[in-house]
Amino acid sequence: MTGGGADIVHHAALDARMVEAARGIRLLALVSWPVELQARFLEGHARGHDVPPQVAYPKLDFTDARREFDAVAAAADPAHPLGAYLVESTRSWSIAAQLLESLGTPAVGAHSVALYGRPDEPLPGHGPTAREAARHFIDIANELDRELLSPAEQVTISATALQLQLQADLDRYFGSRVISVELDPGMIAKAAAGARRIRLRSGAAYTDYDHHQLLQHEAFVHSLTALNGREQTVLGSLALSSPRTTATQEGLAVFAEQITGNIDIERMKRVSLRIEAIAMALGGADFVEVFRYFLGAGQSAEESFASAQRVFRGVPLTGGHAFTKDAVYLRGLIGVHTFFRWALRQGQLRLCRQLFAGKMTLGDVQRFAPLFEAGVLQPPRWLPHWVSRANGLAGMLAFSLFANRIRLDSVSDAAPDFEL
């Protein structure tokens, strides 16, 4: 254990100050567009006129919060696990505050890149870029015959029906009403999750895949980590959606879809299209061009608008700038998958469970290991079934470790001999 009880008390007090300062910095809520803009744009689109929306953002001032973040960072001990966490977290919150103070200007794009990165950055392990990976998934999805989809994948579910299904799933998991599933007519996104509430867009059409994806992604990652973070008495900030934890949170959520068999190639395509669209916007494409890109990729006009607005949240719509949050999905997925395999090889699968004790990065969970062992940080109260069943998780990861040693480029493309 690094440091004594006084160090813990000192950094816990600093963390409480950081949580208070961050209270009004609701990044995604403040950059999101009102749903009325979508209706207005789609009305024009139906008449053959694609007119960029006129987005009005609030004027925000987080000077006091930024000063408090600086003070917390200055008082933290960077050699202590909690101190290092606070230094990195306050920096992230400060950038988020500057982003919100700059809404509607090109500066938002620069702050966004500082928080979430760019599509042309290499993935973990010095691999290809996120954009190259995105094109890989888009190409595979485009090559597959849609007739291979099962009838269940083609039947749509109403938002009301999905609400009832998800609510029943969650009530059964918790044994009581812990998380409420609600319909929200004011959303552009199809779903959003908090600690105690999951919102679905009223009137949206969902599929059976959406049902299981949302359960694993929104409920059993985003909501559970928030709930478990609320159980922490020392680090209350682990319940917050800090921008610096976004890549790990989204990577863990998509990994949960994958490991439970609830991700399909069309889902990978949707994630990948957003990354390609971010790269297009950074390269100069404007809102209408990006909207039409999604249309051409097979999305409906409604979904194309929703996808395009994700790229242009907070930034000018004229091109050259983008809100790059969606660039983290593939990077986060690769990072989390690699981390889980590393944890198995190192005999440290407990780190994978501890990752659910709150919203943290992969680096955080490693530096927090002695704090979990000492009882300073609490283990997660709630875990998804696939994490709690350690033998099943280990079996999947062990196979993944071995399978990655087989090089596909050494297998003949002409009728390879797979006979057993």
Distance from C-alpha of 153 to C-alpha of 241, rounded to nearest angstrom: 32
Q: Whole-angstrom Cα distance, residue 189 to residue 187?
A: 6
Note the pLDDT of residue 396. Answer: 72
Do 229 and 239 form a contact (C-beta atoms < 8 A)?
A: yes
pLDDT of res. 415: 45
DSSP β-ladder status, 205-207 and 197-201: unpaired
Among the listed residues 32, 26, 314, the one whose alpha carbon sits nearest the alpha carbon of residue 189: 32
Query: Can you tell me which residue has the tokens 């103070």?
Result: 101
Query: What residues contact 124, with CB distance under 8 A and at least 6 apart?
Result: 331, 334, 335, 338
Q: Which of 290, 289, 320 is nearest to 307 (CA)?
A: 290
Q: pTM above the 0.85 mark? A: yes
pLDDT score for 204: 87
233-199-310-107 Cα dihedral, nearest 10 degrees: -40
Structure tokens at 44: 């024009």
Residue-level pLDDT at 414: 47
Task: Considering only CA atoms, give the Rg of the chain.
Answer: 22
The whole-number pLDDT of residue 419 equals: 45
Per domain, the residue ranges of the chain are 122-401
Task: Per-residue pLDDT tens, the chain, 420 aa: give them.
Answer: 444 599 999 999 999 999 999 999 999 999 999 999 999 999 999 999 999 999 999 999 999 999 999 999 999 999 999 999 999 999 999 999 999 999 999 999 999 999 999 999 998 877 799 999 999 999 988 887 565 555 555 678 999 999 999 999 999 999 999 999 999 998 988 999 999 999 999 988 898 889 999 999 999 999 999 999 999 999 999 999 999 999 999 999 999 999 998 888 888 999 999 999 999 999 999 999 999 999 999 999 999 999 999 999 999 999 999 999 999 999 999 999 999 989 988 989 999 999 999 999 999 999 999 999 999 999 999 999 998 876 677 777 777 667 666 555 554 454 444 444
Helices (H), ranges, 4-80: 5-21, 27-31, 35-46, 63-75
